[in-house]
Chain A
Amino acid sequence: MSDKEYQPKSKAGKWFNDRLPLLTLGAHLTDYPTPKNLNYWWTFGGILTFCLLTQIITGIVLAMHYVAHADLAFASVEHIMRDVNYGWLIRYIHSNGASMFFLAVYIHIFRSLFYGSYKSPREVIWIIGLLIYLLMMAAAFMGYVLPWGQMSFWGATVITNLFSAIPLVGDSITTWLWGAYSVDNPTLNRFFSLHYLIPFLILGLVVLHIWALHVPGNNNPVGIDIKKPSKDTVPFHPYITIKDTFALLMFMIIFAGFVFFSPNVLGHSDNYIPANPLVTPAHIVPEWYLLPFYAILRSVPDKLGGVILMFGAIFILFVLPWLDTSKVRSAVFRPIYRQFYWIFVVDVLLLGYMGAMPAEGIYLVLARVGTIYYFLHFLVVLPVVGLLEKTDPIPLSISEPVLSGGAKLSMAKKDNEKF
């Protein structure tokens, strides 16, 4: 909370605020001192909030028309597309919104990786963020099942079967998840129930995520601790709000481009074929945002091993703050890490590409190389580089001159010119 104790001006406001300090909270959020050198990569927090609210609102509306029954789900989606007023618009916003949500969250995560936002004292923010990411994947997966097309059905089959890899109890767990002896109506029904629940869990975690952020305050492109409030900070409103709004509008233009002019390009055409338990589509591909993990799963010739590695690829992120041994946050001052960062980005994109390709021949080889490097990056590169790397001199503050390394000052300045 800000240093000055907030006092509402009106009597009624004071009366209310004494009983429930909502106005104090509002004032805190408005005045919240934010580093003034935040660049556009920092606008994705706001964009993600927008995405979540969009999904919740369009989702609630869709649920008014959707029927969660294996015999009716596909038809009810067509009913939404054809008969419900603006149904096509709402559904396309919801389905493309999922992709936009993931696009934004990946940029948000990679921003954190570049500027070391996951490091002390922000580990808890990072971990809550990963929990949100996990819930997002669960929600997206279950949401994809609801239209009950071929990809819905077989995606659900493949993903739920992952649990059958668990020794001894695997099959019982899978049957329990299905509520039947295969993916069937009970599965669809419970997925709908959970798909409706999860966004609200995410919303709760987002509140915690922001709360945890407001304790140490934002990291920034220079990655140094800053005094708050000071010459290095600006109040959140209007400076950050207007900038977030601008970035959000740019984001919405891309979003609208998908919704209105290419609404099915991110989906798979097989999902317009009603689910058929007797025929598996020739190519089972998950949605694009899950492809890197899918590639990791397929790169292992052993079932249990593949499942372990795939989940490991996500859970290794939870210990990332302790794997990275460097005290310097921002990659701007880490010449070696910076190189590895970009190799890692390429590696993840490569894995994503391999996830979309058939698991054979050169693709399989490359997927294996990519998988090995993915883990090497976290288990070897990060700890070792952190210990050996000679970092560039770091400025003492965002706006004041540095003690050493004049070149870096001009660089910090250049950041500011961005606004």
Chain B
Amino acid sequence: MSQKEKKTNRRDFLYTASYTVGAVGLGAVIWPLIDQMNPDKAQKALATTEVDITNIEPGKEITVLWRGKPVFLKRRTPEEIAEARSVKMDDLPDPQRDEERVKEGKDEWLVMLGVCTHLGCVPLKNKGDYKGWFCPCHGSHYDVSGRIRKGPAPKNMEIPKFEFVDNNTIKIG
């Protein structure tokens, strides 16, 4: 009797072990097939872009392409900065102070991904109810700090990693 039980146990173990080892192998085969769809090495290498900002007048903005996405560089007027800072946090769906969205001492420069956080369209400048941007796809309104104010977008427009190389050059990424 006990002899037989032992046999059964050993057999069960063998089966379980086979399944497990087999599953690990299958997973190891599937992973490269899934991971090949992630951005490749050439894509990842396109990490930084340098932009010359000498010619941007206050109140104007330019758009540059970074990693296939538009980046808005806006040189804000003092009035616009004041307005962005006068907003009460309670009025913001995604509360964030304007100071957190710019580099200290370079308050006039707003550098952000020109991508609506709803479904990825490019918002139009100087449109919408809050004098900032308006996304034509599904009607999200952003303020002059690029923060979401109204509409289906859940978050403020993203601030990418960027730095001032010197007074006239911004490096994005």
A and B touch in the complex (CB under 8 A): yes
A residues engaging B (CB < 8 A)? 154, 157-158, 160-162, 164, 175-184, 186, 190, 277-284, 298, 300-304, 306, 358-360
Give Cα distance in the complex from A300 to B154, angstroms.
Answer: 12
A408 to chain B, nearest CB (A): 50
A213 to chain B, nearest CB (A): 34
Closest to A158 in B: B119
Give Cα distance in the complex from A303 to B118, angstroms.
Answer: 6
A138 to chain B, nearest CB (A): 16
B residues engaging A (CB < 8 A)? 34, 37-40, 43, 63, 65, 67-70, 115, 117-124, 135-139, 151-154
Chain B hits for A182, CB < 8 A: 67-69, 115, 120
Among B37, B63, B70, find the residue whose CB has the most chain A CB atoms closer than 10 A: B37
Closest to A160 in B: B120
Chain B hits for A160, CB < 8 A: 120
A180 and B65 in contact, given A278-B122, A298-B152 (Cβ under 8 angstroms): no
Give Cα distance in the complex from A162 to B121, angstroms.
Answer: 12
Give Cα distance in the complex from A282 to B124, angstroms.
Answer: 9
Cβ-defined contact, B118 with A161, below 8 A: yes
The contact of A157 among B120, B136, B153, by CB within 8 Å, is: B120
Cβ-defined contact, A186 with B43, below 8 A: yes
B127 to chain A, nearest CB (A): 11
Chain B hits for A183, CB < 8 A: 68
Chain A hits for B124, CB < 8 A: 280
Cβ-defined contact, B152 with A301, below 8 A: yes
Cβ-defined contact, A179 with B37, below 8 A: yes
What are 23 A-B contacts defined by CB distance under 8 Å?
A: A158-B121, A158-B137, A160-B120, A161-B119, A162-B119, A175-B39, A179-B40, A180-B39, A180-B68, A181-B68, A181-B69, A186-B43, A277-B69, A278-B63, A281-B136, A284-B121, A300-B152, A302-B154, A303-B118, A303-B152, A303-B153, A306-B152, A360-B139
A356 to chain B, nearest CB (A): 14
Chain B hits for A281, CB < 8 A: 136
Where chain A touches its partner, the secondary structure class is loop
Chain A hits for B122, CB < 8 A: 277-280
What would 5 more interface pairs be, CB under 8 Å, given A175-B38, A278-B65?
A176-B38, A181-B69, A280-B136, A300-B152, A306-B152
Closest to B121 in A: A280
Give Cα distance in the complex from A359 to B118, angstroms.
Answer: 14
Chain A hits for B135, CB < 8 A: 280
A156 to chain B, nearest CB (A): 9
Give Cα distance in the complex from A232 to B135, angstroms.
Answer: 60
Give Cα distance in the complex from A157 to B115, angstroms.
Answer: 10
Chain A hits for B115, CB < 8 A: 182
A160 to chain B, nearest CB (A): 8
Give Cα distance in the complex from A65 to B123, angstroms.
Answer: 36
A157 and B40 in contact, given A277-B70, A278-B63 (Cβ under 8 angstroms): no
A32 to chain B, nearest CB (A): 41
Give Cα distance in the complex from A300 to B138, angstroms.
Answer: 11
Cβ-defined contact, A359 with B70, below 8 A: no
Give Cα distance in the complex from A157 to B136, angstroms.
Answer: 14
Chain A hits for B37, CB < 8 A: 176-177, 179, 190
Give Cα distance in the complex from A179 to B34, angstroms.
Answer: 11
B20 to chain A, nearest CB (A): 26
